[in-house]
Amino acid sequence: MPSTLVAVAVGVLLAIALLGPAFNRSSVAIVAAAAAAPDLDLVFALVDLGDPNATLHTVFVPLLAAAVLYSDTRLGGASRLADRYGLYGVRVAWVAIAALMIAGIGVDAFSSEGVALLYPLSGRYYAVVGGFLLSTQDGIVQTYVTLADGWIEVSSPGTLDTHTIPSPVTPGGDRRLRIVETGEQAVLVATAIVALAAKWLVERYDRLAEARA
């Protein structure tokens, strides 16, 4: 699984892109924390609470969060979140859910170790790995998903019983806290750091321009 740092980098990129006027130090921290949060299930698995890459890597966590947020802000009377934190709070909450889904779960789901996306309904891990290209000899080559009997299948590295997720917190063996595994991940992390610095400069410049106008 790509390290938590990579998930945080993607989360920071999402925060920069989507927070808009709600962008500040605390909102970026909240969104980055949401991107890192799913990896806590590696820690909980140690004390036999749930399973690694499963308990918090299930699609039901962001779906539930989105349903709660939607019903609070859009259905019924006054929104508790908006009353307390205004539209700032609503924006940060939506971006945090997007980061949980795209960065926290997505980064792992598109790696070879996979996530148990439908946990606890199913204990199967899913990994979207493959390729998609156009070839002048072979036409469209697509190996991410296979179509079988009307079902769309993605590859699966195994189930809760057969597939182990290497974790830096599990005792035994050579424990390894991965920081970046490939050059691409290193570039992604560097991009997030530079983009964050650039966004600070841009925001400061915009505030100055606004004050002058």
d(CA 200, CA 99): 20
Kindly tell me which residue out of 132, 158, 162, 204 binds other proteins, with binding defined by CB under 8 A: 132
- For 17, 30, 199, 207, the CA distances from 213, given in Å and listed in that order, are 25, 32, 21, 10
**Region near other proteins per CB under 8 A, out of 38-46, 48-56, 115-123, 184-192:** 184-192
Residue 200 binding other proteins, by CB under 8 A: no
> In the complex with other proteins, which residue's Cβ is closer, 58 or 73?
73
* Measured CA angle at 153 (ends 151, 157), to 5 deg: 150
Characterize the bridge pairing of strands 151-159 and 139-142.
unpaired
Q: Cβ(79)–Cβ(69) under 8 Å?
A: no
> In the complex with other proteins, which residue's Cβ is closer, 83 or 162?
83
- For the bound state, the minimum distance from the C-beta of residue 29 to other proteins, rounded and expressed in Å, comes to 16
| φ and ψ of 7, to 5 deg | -60, -40
d(CA 119, CA 108): 15
**Region near other proteins per CB under 8 A, out of 37-45, 50-58, 117-125, 180-188:** 180-188
> Mask: binding to other proteins, 75-114, rule CB under 8 A, as x and -?
-------x---xxx-xx--xx-xx--xx---xx-xxxx--
Kindly tell me which residue out of 48, 77, 84, 135 binds other proteins, with binding defined by CB under 8 A: 135
Kindly tell me which residue out of 29, 68, 121, 202 binds other proteins, with binding defined by CB under 8 A: 202
> Mask: binding to other proteins, 30-59, rule CB under 8 A, as x and -?
------------------------------
Residue 131 binding other proteins, by CB under 8 A: yes
d(CA 9, CA 185): 9
Kindly tell me which residue out of 29, 64, 68, 177 binds other proteins, with binding defined by CB under 8 A: 177
53: left (phi over 0), alpha (psi -120 to 50) or beta: left
